Amino acid sequence: MGFVLPELDNSRVEREVCSFIRGKVEEAGSRGLVIGLSGGLDSSVVACLAVKALGAHRVKALIMPDHRVTPKEDLEDAWTVASELGVEAKEVDIAPMCDAIIEGHPYRAEGNVVAAGNVRARVRMVLLYYVANVMNMLVCGTGDKSEIMIGYFTKYGDGGVDILPIGDLYKTDVRRLARHLGLPDRIASKPSSPRLWPGQTAEGELGVSYDIIDSTLYLVYERGHRPEEAASRIGVSLEVVNAIIRRVEGSRHKRTMPPFPSVSHMRAS
C-alpha cells in the first residue's frame, strides 16, 4: 500500500481525551463511567483512558459475553485489562436474555445471524444503561472514527452511548495509541470484531483492511481528494474506494437523530 495514515502526537491525544472525559463527567454531574469491556482493542484503550482521567474507583466495567459466540481469549483479556487497571468488573452472560427475546418473538426468523447479532448489541446497551441509572454514571462508548464513519456499529446497540472518547481516532490511530499507553501487543494487534456471531471479524465482513479504510476516509473526507486520486495514492482500485464511500453515505441515518416532518409552522397565530 502506497499511503500511510500520518501519525498523531499520542501524548497530546492522551491529554486531550482525558480532559474531555473529565469535562463531560463533571458537566453531567455524574459519578463516573460504565464501560462494556470486551477484551478487544477499542474497549481496552477507552478503559485505560477513563482510568487515567478519573481514577479506577470512578470507572465500572461490564463484561458481557455470549458463551456461544465470545472466544475464551477475549474473556480472559477483558478480565486481565480490568485487573491491571484496578477497575471493578462484573460478568454477565447475555445468552439467556438474547434467547428470551428471540425465542419469544412473534416474528422470529430462524438463522438470521444479523438480526440475532444486533439483539446481542442492544442487550448489552440495556445492561450498561441499567448500571448508569443505578449508579449515576455515564455510558462510555468505545466506537472509533472508522466504525462511526462507515456505520459499522449497531444502531441503538453499541451506538447507544453518552460519550465517545475515541470517536475522532481512526482504527489505525487507536492501535498506535494502545502501544503508546503500554497495552499488551496481543490486544493492540488483535483483529477487530464486534463478536455478534461465531467467527465474525470486522475486516472479514467488510472485505477490506482498516489500513485501506482509514486511508480512504482520511484522504477523501479530511483532505478533499477525489476518489480517483485517493485510489491512486493508496494503491487500490477505484471500486474499493467507492465501496467505502458508499458505506459512509449509506449509514448517515446511524449518525443523526431520526427524521421527522416539519409542522410547527402550521400553528394558528
pLDDT tens across the length of the chain (269 residues): 689 999 999 999 999 999 999 999 999 999 999 999 999 999 999 999 999 999 999 999 999 999 999 999 999 999 999 999 999 999 999 999 999 999 999 999 988 999 999 999 999 999 999 999 999 999 999 999 999 999 999 999 999 999 999 999 999 999 999 999 999 999 999 887 676 667 766 677 778 999 999 999 999 999 999 999 999 999 999 999 999 999 999 999 999 999 999 999 999 97
CATH number among 3.40.50.720, 3.40.50.620, 3.30.420.40, 3.40.640.10, domain 10-200 = 3.40.50.620
Q: How many CB atoms lie within 10 A of CB 257?
A: 6
Residue 250 burial class via C-beta count within 10 angstroms: exposed 0-12, middle 13-18, buried 19 and up: exposed
In 43-143, DSSP assigns E strands to: 59-63, 88-91, 138-140
Q: Any idea how long the chain is?
A: 269
In whole angstroms, what is the distance from residue 226 CA to residue 232 CA? Answer: 10
108, 99 Cβ separation under 8 angstroms: no
How far is C-alpha 238 from the geometric centre of its chain's CA atoms?
27
In 99-192, DSSP assigns E strands to: 138-140
